[in-house]
Amino acid sequence: MSAVKNRFWVDAPAKINLTLEVLGHRPDGYHELRSLLMPLGLCDRVELEDASEDGLEVASEDVDLSALCPAPRNLAWRAVQLVRQRLNPSCGGVRIRIVKRIPIGGGLGGGSADAAGVLVGLNRLWDLKLTREALMGLGGELGCDVPAIVHGGAVVMEGKGERISPVLDGSEGPVSGFALVLANPRISISTAEVYRACSGVLTSGTNSYILLHSAVRRGDVKAAAAGLFNGLEAGVFARYPAVGQLAERLRAAGALGVLMSGSGATVFALVGDCEHGESVRRSLPSIYWSQVTRTLPDGVMAAHGPLEP
């Protein structure tokens, strides 16, 4: 009689960058960044279970998988290999199934979210007893957004992503999140390509970081909309006109503020509430992928209960 497998699932949230500044080049070849990130209610689902050997399956919910990296380069798969190399856990294999809801190459950190979900999931599956800080350290070896997503909540990311500071400390009391529309022209953009084309320093001349930090702490969506900044946006709009055109459509539809997230191609529009968001979303032609969602208060990567066998 076989034992019941340990099997559960983890929510892996997308993120948006309310600010993204490029402060210069680092000696290690990366760019020095400063960005304020917030996790979203849009999540991939990462399912993990004990198995006789490792395996990875990716399924889609309205997401084009053609730009999906092969397994050796997939961040979720690399997360498994990294844990094995660093910790040498005495355990069997793990089978991972990812249900993709976050567009690939969309600037929403979908690959990083999946890697973060795997790290958190393996910590439970293999009873590794790693602290959040230890998981963030492992995440930093995989990608610049992974530590921020493992940490959860609104955070400031600095360096190449390894320095994380929470925006909210509890002293501000309950804070409302933001409603927003996500939209993508159904194209995938390589983050590495965007950064290779990036030259010089790309910072805000209007103190967007200070404005956004204060706006998030107050839950003030109008102030947040006024402070949005992404130093990569102009270069991406020039190279991919469809992304800039989508941003203009969202502005024309009455959004409070519009910005490209990360290195694109997804654009987000801050709105007053979800009803306002649905009105803005309905104005978009059906050629676009779009969704109304909210920022998460904590972005927790909580492991959920056992799946049905």
* Span 118-168, pLDDT tens digits: 999 999 999 999 999 999 999 999 999 999 999 999 999 999 889 999 998
Residue type, 19: T
Residue 29 has a pLDDT of 63
Residue type, 115: A
* pTM for the whole structure: 0.92
Give burial (CB, 10 Å; 0-12/13-18/19+) of 286: exposed
**Domain 179-294 indexed as CATH 3.30.70.890:** yes
Q: Average pLDDT, whole number, for the chain?
A: 90
Distance CA 22, CA 45 (A): 31
Query: Which residue, among 92, 17, 90, 77, has the nearest Cα to 46 in the 3D structure?
Result: 77
192 pLDDT band (50/70/90 cuts)? confident
**What secondary structure letter does DSSP report for 189?**
-
251-281 pLDDT, tens per residue? 999 999 999 999 999 999 999 999 999 999 9
Q: If you average pLDDT over residues 199-220, what whole number do you get?
A: 84
Residue 172 has a pLDDT of 75
Contact call for residues 122 and 128 (beta carbons, < 8 A): yes
Domain ranges of the chain: 7-166, 179-294
11 pLDDT band (50/70/90 cuts)? very high
Domain spanning 7-166, CATH architecture:
2-Layer Sandwich (3.30)
Residue percentage of the chain with pLDDT more than 70:
94
Contact call for residues 213 and 167 (beta carbons, < 8 A): yes
Query: Which residue, among 185, 181, 194, has the nearest Cα to 243 in the 3D structure?
Result: 185
Q: Which residues are catalytic?
A: 15, 145
Number of C-alpha atoms within 13 angstroms, CB side, residue 281?
A: 20
- The two beta strands, 163-166 and 93-100, are unpaired
Contact call for residues 178 and 218 (beta carbons, < 8 A): no
213-223 pLDDT, tens per residue? 999 999 999 99
